[in-house]
Structure 1
Amino acid sequence: MSKSEVSKSLRRHRLSVAIAMLPVSLLAIGSAPVLAQEQADAPVQLPGINVTADWLGPPTEESERTYTGARTVVEEEQLQATGALNLDDALRPVPGLTVLDETGTGILPNIGVRGLNPLRSERLQILLDGYPIAIGPYSNVGVSLFPVTLPSLEVVDIVRGGASVHYGPNNVGGVVNFVTKPIPAETSQTLRERVTIAEETGNVFTDTYYRVGGRATDKLDLQFQANVQRGDGFRDHSDTEVDNLILDARYYLNDQHELATQLQYYRVEAELPGALTPQAYEQDRSQSQRPHDGYEADMSRATFTWTYTPVDNVEFQWRNFVHDADRTFFFGQNLSGTGHWADPGLDSTHVADSPRLFTVLGTEPRLAIRHGRHDITLGARFVSEDVEFDVNRLEFSSGNRSVARDWHLDTRAMAFYISDTVSFLDDRLTVTPGLRYEDVDMDFRDNLTGNTEENNADELLPGLTVGYQASDDLFVFANSQRSLVPVQIAQTTREGAVANETSWNHELGARLQVTPDLLSSATLFRIDYEDQIQFNRSTSRFENLGETRHQGVELTNRWNLNSQWELGLGYTFLDTEQLTGDNEGNELPNAPTHKVSADAVYSYQAWDASLNWVYVSSSYSDADNTEEETSNGSAGELPDYHLVTTRVGRDFAIGGDRVLNLGLAVNNLLDEDYYFRGVDVSPVGRVPQPGRSFILEAQLDF
């Protein structure tokens, strides 16, 4: 076995131990749940926990094959070696996903699933190492602070169905778990430098990453990661600074007790170029008409997990997390009464800032028991959120500063869940009924007016998954589950009919090993949504679209031609419809009907190369399905587009265990010109997507 193979084997073993500490919450409720411990690839004896059910697969391509729902595992090679501009760009080829790039630097991702609103990724349960990253997991599910950077990741696990019972709320679009690099079995270091140059403007963005980790003592493992990003996106007014620091520790008390903790500090400060009027876009898409828009945020996170395995078939895990977050948007406003307040073609009369202070803590004990043909999971979670939600305005003409909004929100949420996976036919058939109960209490207070309001959600969320290994080559699955999104703090204080959102999600699919070298999968999906809430840019109000339907099919194929060539092909067909209300019969916004992805990977000795292509069809940008673009760009049809990215790299052995990888990539090779409509503090106009960029990479492992 070569040194690189040994290193990879050790990483996988350590990943299996780290993943075993992730919550059963993310574990699927079928035959192969999302996250768990993997058998070591190499005969390396390391202390670890004895996982209750070894049928749980880690986030690898192998366990993906027998998961009882639609699932895509994006491994390190796909994340780091495809020429992706940033993390959300790396996820763009995944079936069913819609990705909108707001900044070009990855600090504010917009990811949607199966026609659900991608803006602020608010219809996904997004996790970092199994813990929620939303600054308000119940009251503010939109990801307006994203403490994740690409170099620190080992795997991204995307589960689009089958995980609702163990994970909630806000899992209508599924669960995405970002798994950071595990602590290595032996002390090692990584130094990585990445430089992105935008062809259109010459702007430069640097990304520096360092990791050191290994065994400190016989019982203690430690790891430190630091990621520093500096520079500009592809547009004017896009200067960005990011610091991401992560410290991991794992302590083995004995064969039965294991403790793990992660401490993280994340900081970002950035100018936001915002949206452009159609006229300005045609003149120069790299310019900015929003000179006052900016963003500052920081988050301190801590997680602690105690795992106790008294016997082989019982595991108790107590998971705890806390984060303190402070994020502020700065944005220009035209309050003269002429046109929309965010029209990029109008001069601002005011500049506003919107600080949000979040203190969140959660605790989640869970118990997993294997008894005969039953795998039973019991769990409970308590989450507390304390939120300060302000808006201040500075008037340019007078210099007066005023408080426009001063809100406070307390949220207390309790959840209980249980599932039982029952195996039949020599474990080839698994049936998993499950039930989750959510009890959410939100107390809102307007400190300016003294008004108070209470919002409650009290829901039973059942689920059922079935998995059947019909033959050695064919695996079939089906699942049905109910999901909840509680009323959000921003919705409760605006005019318009809002409500707790619920949906039923259904999937039927199969994975077939057509030949030893060709794996194909197909998934039929349907989402029946009640009370879907969306923000109307034109009126600055949240609207209840009522009942909506999302349905379609996702197809994937992976073909290993030989030891050098690997090909991939995927297709998503999406059909969305508003079933009630004024827009009955219309499609949902930002829901393209067709998406095609293809890639080719070539490896020869120390060389590797890849070519990726994604096609996305046109879609509407509003619930009214406006086709002709408005004068300020607030609505209108969104264009279809093709994206081609390529990368070539080579490993150099430079003595001892040191390996240097050098890479050159071109993102958006064809310099495709496309855009989406505004978001958040710049909701009106066209938001240009990145043009052609050149990426230089160097990584040293030692």
Structure 2
Amino acid sequence: MKKTILASTILAALATPAMANNANGDTDIEQIKIIGSKTDARNVAGSSAVIDEEQMRIEVPSDINQLMKTIPGVYVREEDGEGLRPNIGIRAATAGRVSKVTLLEDGVMMAPAPYSNPAAYYFPTTFRMSSVEVLKGAPLLRYGPQTTGGVLNLVTTPVPEDFGGQVLTEFGENSSRDIHAHVGGTEGQWGFLLETVQRSSDGFKEIDRSSRDAGFDIEDYVAKLQWTGERQSLLAKVQYSEEISNETYLGLTDEDFAQNENRRYGLSEIDQMDNSHKGYSLNYAFEATDNLTFSILGYYNDYARNWFKLDGGNAYVSAANSGDAEALAILRGTQDEAGLNYKNNNRAYESKGIEANAQFIFGTHNLEVGVRDHSDEMDRFQPVEIYDQVNGSLVYQGEVMPTGGNNRLEGADAISLWLTDQWQATEDFNVHFALRYEDVESYRYQF
């Protein structure tokens, strides 16, 4: 929990009725949504929910965990207290790293490698979202590849209809600072949006014998360019972000946790996550007739991260909890220890694909047919650095090059086909059909 001060600066052009409509989501500018409004969510087969623009504007959320807790059937396991790496499950599917949920941003899969390594060590910055959609039940077959838990679609800030912008700042305890700024507009057939989120904090934990904080620094940038013609539109989006967070997996003994739950042992002083994400997408939509619409979506995501942290440190915690005085002394830094392993959990991910979709309204039927050609891979190269603890300080000794599971390349190539039909059989009875086919070839090379 933190006490905050909010400040909002709005450019003069925002004081127009058009932008007021934008704020309420009542806009003709296209956003890639899978549900739509809260009213639409009640008409979806199965179960769905929408956190709309109004709720986002009121709550000014920086932590996705807090938003997800407002939706029934969604399970959240907190990890770092800042929402940097959420664990979200739907319909009892395991919550670990959102691995059983299809994570989308504006309709584009956002897991670093959705087929070969779906665990989402990258999660989009919540501050720049305008709404959040959650889809459960049979309709999720339209999206895949996860077809048991659900779909989580994060809808980003839309391109505004009139020129304007906003700067929102938030300051809090532990030197916390959040800034969300965007500017954009539409002139004729062209529209643009420039957006950034800057977040930092010193964290709320204290590391033994160290001047290093337990906080984070995040920079996130987005640019959108949109062209709208008569019955067609083209939206290009570029995103870049980077994060450095002094996070660890090392916990505390029961005794030390009871005395100070925000303490961190000096063994975790050098633990740090360092990552960057680049995303590109191009979406083309063509309304051939009033009843027939085509869309083509191309995307490319590149994610690299290195979580440098103590390997196997919680074995000392378990031993100390079992009464091992020597393990407790090592944790507290009062006893020297040689041969501590600090692993560079270093991985690079690539995800790319193209998706084509057609929607056709025929009488009481709303048909949708589509295909997606996707490929992704993960390159894992994880050397281990050796340190000794001497007089409570960490002293570097050397490095061990990786082999086996720490030096491997994994990937997958997938072709997906889907066909759905929403049939309004009667005024009060709607039948939803869904068919999905996937052909996936995966591989793993270990060195």
- TM normalised by structure 1 equals 0.54
Superimposed CA distance per residue, residues 135-161 of structure 1 (whole angstroms, 9 cap, x where no aligned partner): 001111111111x22321111111122
The residue number in structure 2 matching 1:383 is 374
The residue number in structure 1 matching 2:199 is 229
Matches for 1:51-200 after TM superposition, within 5 Å: 58=36, 60-82=37-59, 86-146=63-123, 148-197=124-173
In 2, Cα distance between equivalents of 1:240 and 1:350: 23
- Residue 329 of structure 1 and its aligned partner are, at CA, apart by 1.0
Percent identical pairs in the alignment equals 20
- Residue identity opposite 2:30 in structure 1: A
Contact (CA 8 Å) 1:353, 1:392: kept in 2 or not? yes
In 1, Cα distance between equivalents of 2:237 and 2:188: 19
The residue number in structure 1 matching 2:9 is none
In 1, Cα distance between equivalents of 2:435 and 2:375: 22
The residue number in structure 1 matching 2:399 is 400
The residue number in structure 2 matching 1:354 is 345
- Residue 366 of structure 1 and its aligned partner are, at CA, apart by 1.0
Superimposed CA distance per residue, residues 575-623 of structure 1 (whole angstroms, 9 cap, x where no aligned partner): xxxxxxxxxxxxxxxxxxxxxxxxxxxxxxxxxxxxxxxxxxxxxxxxx
CA distance 1:379–1:166, change in 2 (3 Å): same
Q: Which runs of 5+ in 2 are unaligned?
A: 1-13, 207-212, 322-326, 332-338, 389-396
CA distance 1:104–1:77, change in 2 (3 Å): farther
The residue number in structure 2 matching 1:213 is 184
In 2, Cα distance between equivalents of 1:296 and 1:342: 30
Contact (CA 8 Å) 1:304, 1:321: kept in 2 or not? yes
Superimposed CA distance per residue, residues 92-145 of structure 1 (whole angstroms, 9 cap, x where no aligned partner): 222122222222222111122233322212221111111111000111111111
Q: Does 1:261 align with 2:236?
A: yes
- Residue identity opposite 2:377 in structure 1: D
Superimposed CA distance per residue, residues 371-412 of structure 1 (whole angstroms, 9 cap, x where no aligned partner): 122211110111111320122101225423322421012310
In 2, Cα distance between equivalents of 1:352 and 1:15: 49
In 1, Cα distance between equivalents of 2:161 and 2:259: 55
The residue number in structure 2 matching 1:577 is none
The residue number in structure 2 matching 1:411 is 412
- Residue 234 of structure 1 and its aligned partner are, at CA, apart by 2.2
The residue number in structure 2 matching 1:317 is 295
- Residue 5 of structure 1 and its aligned partner are, at CA, apart by 6.3
Which of 293, 299, 304 is matched with 2:271 structurally? 293
Contact (CA 8 Å) 2:24, 2:53: kept in 1 or not? no
Contact (CA 8 Å) 1:245, 1:265: kept in 2 or not? yes
Contact (CA 8 Å) 1:235, 1:273: kept in 2 or not? no
SS of aligned partner of 1:164: helix
- TM normalised by structure 2 equals 0.83
SS of aligned partner of 1:81: helix
SS of aligned partner of 1:77: helix
Matches for 1:417-566 after TM superposition, within 5 Å: 417-425=418-426, 427-447=427-447
- Residue identity opposite 1:111 in structure 2: I
Deviates more, 1:130-139 or 1:153-162: 153-162
SS of aligned partner of 2:402: strand
SS of aligned partner of 2:264: coil
Superimposed CA distance per residue, residues 464-508 of structure 1 (whole angstroms, 9 cap, x where no aligned partner): xxxxxxxxxxxxxxxxxxxxxxxxxxxxxxxxxxxxxxxxxxxxx
Which of 272, 275, 283 is matched with 2:247 structurally? 272
CA distance 1:119–1:94, change in 2 (3 Å): same
Q: Does 1:8 align with 2:20?
A: yes
- Residue 16 of structure 1 and its aligned partner are, at CA, apart by 4.9
- Residue 334 of structure 1 and its aligned partner are, at CA, apart by 4.5
In 1, Cα distance between equivalents of 2:159 and 2:367: 30
CA distance 1:175–1:322, change in 2 (3 Å): same
In 1, Cα distance between equivalents of 2:18 and 2:164: 13
Matches for 1:659-678 after TM superposition, within 5 Å: none
Which of 236, 251, 265 is matched with 2:227 structurally? 251
The residue number in structure 1 matching 2:309 is 331
Contact (CA 8 Å) 1:85, 1:104: kept in 2 or not? no
- Residue identity opposite 2:41 in structure 1: E
SS of aligned partner of 1:18: coil
Between the two proteins, the alignment pairs up a number of residues equal to 402
- Residue 226 of structure 1 and its aligned partner are, at CA, apart by 0.5
Which of 334, 357, 377 is matched with 1:366 structurally? 357
- Residue 353 of structure 1 and its aligned partner are, at CA, apart by 0.6
Deviates more, 1:235-244 or 1:359-368: 235-244
CA distance 1:246–1:83, change in 2 (3 Å): closer
Q: Where is the helix percentage greater, Structure 1 or Structure 2? A: 2
- Residue 251 of structure 1 and its aligned partner are, at CA, apart by 0.6
Matches for 1:523-672 after TM superposition, within 5 Å: none
The residue number in structure 2 matching 1:591 is none
The residue number in structure 2 matching 1:669 is none
The residue number in structure 2 matching 1:453 is none
In 1, Cα distance between equivalents of 2:411 and 2:181: 38
Contact (CA 8 Å) 1:244, 1:265: kept in 2 or not? yes
SS of aligned partner of 1:400: strand
Superimposed CA distance per residue, residues 496-553 of structure 1 (whole angstroms, 9 cap, x where no aligned partner): xxxxxxxxxxxxxxxxxxxxxxxxxxxxxxxxxxxxxxxxxxxxxxxxxxxxxxxxxx
Superimposed CA distance per residue, residues 254-287 of structure 1 (whole angstroms, 9 cap, x where no aligned partner): 3132111110001111101433222221111111
Matches for 1:42-57 after TM superposition, within 5 Å: none
Q: Which runs of 5+ in 1 are unaligned?
A: 27-33, 35-57, 198-202, 448-702
In 1, Cα distance between equivalents of 2:136 and 2:356: 25
SS of aligned partner of 2:373: strand
